[in-house]
């Protein structure tokens, strides 16, 4: 494990240059990403944030190798991406555990594909599960776990092939707010130990600030990089920091940037007057006053 | 597919009860993750007891209705004049159960079912996996099968007698045909319904095409395969009995038809009951194998399919 982490800090440099992704539907050509450039330095935690539908997941899917770039270049440690690879671990938004394997067998899957022997596999999986506080559940099937636990297993499984980079596509998006906060702490703690490069996708501003070294803000479709913000909060991050003035300043700054984009994304809706109702005076009777009038 | 849902729903409610009552003793250790376990029921849940009670009551009601309909010779468009009473059937059953000829009827039917169904499963499952996964295979084979599929297995009886060298083989062929299509279609559906994110996850974890097929596609489609097997077994029995009635010389279907020809009315009913029980045992066996092969498939998952 030590050798792997030392190596991980040297490698895992994601570079995305002038990336464009276009889809052709039956009726039109949709530009999902328009000349976006980002990079994730070795051992850095970088987040892509933006309104829904801005193409941030598309960008991650290109880096993962699920989608092809229409133009531009995407490399990891100088090598062009050609399909999915064990060098790039992926944690998905939906629960992606194999329901027919136990928790430990899920974690062992990548090692098994590599041809690692049974006993080595088992020992590594148990160590990793212990780190995520899941050792007591190693023989459970995914259906027996809560949402938060499933995602922790998902993270551990992605780490188990000792990838150079970890790609996380809104991994906590399906969790309730309380679980989400705890998961963020667990993730930042694990990252602190392994220090591998992470490209993280979210639309949650607090989550982005809490976890990241740098944040890229994406525009509404077509997705472009609108801003890049460095988060200079000390490491290791703790829950207490979220109420510090610096943290709040970052959050407000991002909120402003994203609000502009959300409004832009809602453009056509706004023309129809989504906010026009703000000025209407309803009188003292509340809803009942209107309905019974 | 509607039929599949109904069958699975019934299967699930039975399967789920057993492990729930077996676990509690094991999970009282102090640090055990109790919070995640399903709620512990008492040794025999009151609801299970009630379900059994109602079940017994329901059967009693059927027997009573039958008994009185025969006793008072109900003749109100539907005629019970020639129908044997439950007692007569029971007496017949006791007399026949040791009869080697009767046993041979049953054994031969079981043998035909087993042969026809097994051959169907051995061909339909691999073919379904291939067709679900490979577009060329699907587009090449599917049209030919779609033309044959709407023809009920029973309609094949005359053709089957011409095709195959003996009656025995043609009856097995009819049984095979009956179970083949449900198994094939459900297997194809199982492969295609597999969540794409699982395939992506496996590829990120270094699975090549062969490993993907063996470790993801196959286990992932198993719940649907077993749905197909359950339905296929049901249709196999329907086809077998019809084929035996038309062209058999032995078998429980033939026994039932022969009883009618020889005016042994209580044997007709006995034949019907035996067919029902055998069918029930066969689908029970498939469910048992299913829960053994897929220990992860709990009720929730089965119902969502």
Interchain contact, B220 vs A100, CB within 8 Å: yes
Going by pLDDT thresholds of 50, 70 and 90, the confidence category of residue A109 is very high
- Mean pLDDT, chain A, rounded, equals 88
Structural domain range at position B151 = 85-296
Q: Which sign, positive or negative, has the C-alpha torsion B89, B92, B96, B98?
A: positive
Residue B284 is assigned to a structural domain of this protein: yes
Residue B49 included in any domain: no
Assess if residue B19 is contained within a domain.
Answer: no
Q: Does A90 touch chain B (CB under 8 A)?
A: yes
Q: Residues with Cβ < 8 Å from B303, sequence gap 6 or more?
A: B8, B9, B12
Judge: A88–B204 Cβ closer than 8 Å, yes or no. Answer: yes
**Mean pLDDT in residue range B230-234:** 96
Compare CB distances from B201 to A88, A92, A145 and report the shortest one's residue. Answer: A92
Whether residue A109 lies within 8 A of chain B, CB to CB, comes out as yes
Is residue B4 a part of any domain in this protein?
Answer: no
Average pLDDT for chain B: 84
Number of Cβ pairs < 8 A linking chain A and chain B: 79
Residue B125 counted as domain residue:
yes
Whether residue A222 has a cis bond before it, omega within 30° of 0 = yes
Closest Cα of chain B to A268: distance in Å? 33
Half-sphere exposure of B247 (CA within 13 A, CB side): 23
Q: How many domains does chain B have?
A: 1
Is A115 an interface residue toward B (CB < 8 Å)? no
Write out the residues of chain B at the interface with chain A, using a CB-CB cutoff of 8 A: 31-33, 36, 195, 197-198, 200-208, 211, 215-216, 219-220, 222, 294-298, 300-301
Q: pLDDT higher for A260 or A19?
A: A19
What count of Cα atoms within 13 Å lies in the side-chain half-sphere of residue B94? 5
> Does the residue B46 lie in any domain?
no
| Helix B135-148 vs helix B100-133: crossing angle, to nearest 10 | 140
Q: What is the pLDDT of residues A208-227, one digit of tens each?
A: 999 999 999 998 878 889 89
Q: Is the pLDDT of residue A262 over 80?
A: no
pTM of the full structure: 0.79
In a domain, B47, yes or no: no
For the stretch A69-107, pLDDT in tens is 999 999 999 899 989 999 999 999 888 999 999 999 999
> What number is the ipTM of this complex?
0.85
Domain CATH for B247: 1.10.3720.10
Per-residue DSSP letter, A117: -
SS3 of residue B52 by DSSP: helix
Q: A266 phi and psi, to 5 degrees? A: -90, 5
Residue A3 vs residues A10, A20, B176: alpha-carbon distances, Å: 11, 37, 58
Position B36 in a domain: no
**Contacts with A140 from chain B: Cβ below 8 Å:** 36
Distance CA B153, CA B165 (A): 18
């Amino acid at each position: 494990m030590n050798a792997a982490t030392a190596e991980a800090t040297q490698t895992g440099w994601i570079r995305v240059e002038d990336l464009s992704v276009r889809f052709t539907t039956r009726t039109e050509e949709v530009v999902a990403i328009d000349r976006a450039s980002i990079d994730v330095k070795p051992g850095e935690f970088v987040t892509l944030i933006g309104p829904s539908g801005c193409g941030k997941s598309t960008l991650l899917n290109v880096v993962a190798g699920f989608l092809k770039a229409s133009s531009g270049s995407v490399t990891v440690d100088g090598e062009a991406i050609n399909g999915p690879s064990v060098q790039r671990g992926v944690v998905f938004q939906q629960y992606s555990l194999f329901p027919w394997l136990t928790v430990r067998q899920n974690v062992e899957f990548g090692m098994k594909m590599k041809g690692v022997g049974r006993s080595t596999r088992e020992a590594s999986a148990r160590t990793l599960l212990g780190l995520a506080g899941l050792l007591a559940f190693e023989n459970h099937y995914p259906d027996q776990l809560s949402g938060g636990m499933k995602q922790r297993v998902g993270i551990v499984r992605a780490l188990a092939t000792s990838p150079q980079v970890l790609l996380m596509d809104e991994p906590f998006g399906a969790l309730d707010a309380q679980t989400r906060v705890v998961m963020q702490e667990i993730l930042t703690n694990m990252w602190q130990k392994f220090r591998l490069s992470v490209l993280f996708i979210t639309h949650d501003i607090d989550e982005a600030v809490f976890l990241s070294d740098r944040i890229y803000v994406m525009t509404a479709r077509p997705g472009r990089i609108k801003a890049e913000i460095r988060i200079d909060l000390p490491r290791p991050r703790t829950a207490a920091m979220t109420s510090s003035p610096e943290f709040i300043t970052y959050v407000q700054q991002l909120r402003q940037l994203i609000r502009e984009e959300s409004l832009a994304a809602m453009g056509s809706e706004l023309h129809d007057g989504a906010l026009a109702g703000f000025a209407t005076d309803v009188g003292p009777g509340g809803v009942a006053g209107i309905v019974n009038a | 597919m509607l039929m599949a849902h109904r069958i699975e729903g019934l299967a699930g409610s039975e399967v789920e009860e057993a492990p729930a009552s077996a676990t509690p003793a094991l999970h009282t250790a102090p640090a055990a993750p109790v919070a995640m376990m399903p709620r512990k029921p008492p040794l025999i849940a009151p609801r299970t007891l009630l379900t059994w009670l109602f079940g017994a009551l329901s059967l009693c009601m059927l027997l009573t209705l039958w008994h009185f309909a025969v006793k008072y010779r109900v003749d109100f468009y539907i005629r019970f004049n020639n129908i044997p009473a439950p007692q007569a059937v029971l007496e017949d059953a006791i007399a026949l159960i040791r009869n080697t000829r009767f046993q041979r009827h049953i054994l031969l039917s079981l043998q035909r079912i087993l042969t026809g169904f097994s051959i169907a499963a051995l061909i339909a499952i691999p073919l379904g996996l291939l067709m679900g996964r490979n577009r060329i295979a699907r587009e090449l084979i599917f049209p030919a099968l779609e033309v044959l599929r709407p023809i009920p297995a029973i309609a094949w009886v005359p053709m089957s007698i011409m095709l195959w060298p003996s009656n025995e083989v043609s009856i097995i062929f009819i049984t095979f045909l009956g179970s083949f299509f449900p198994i094939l279609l459900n297997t194809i559906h199982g492969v295609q319904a597999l969540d794409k994110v699982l395939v992506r996850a496996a590829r990120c974890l270094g699975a090549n095409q062969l490993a993907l097929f063996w470790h993801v596609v196959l286990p992932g489609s198993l719940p649907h395969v077993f749905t197909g097997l359950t339905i296929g077994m049901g249709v196999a029995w329907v086809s077998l009995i019809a084929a035996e009635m038309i062209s058999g010389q032995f078998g429980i279907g033939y026994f039932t038809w022969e009883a009618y020809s020889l005016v042994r009315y209580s044997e007709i009913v006995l034949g019907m009951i035996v067919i029902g029980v055998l069918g029930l045992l066969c689908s029970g066996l498939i469910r048992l194998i299913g829960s053994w092969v897929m220990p992860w498939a709990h009720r929730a998952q089965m119902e969502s399919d």
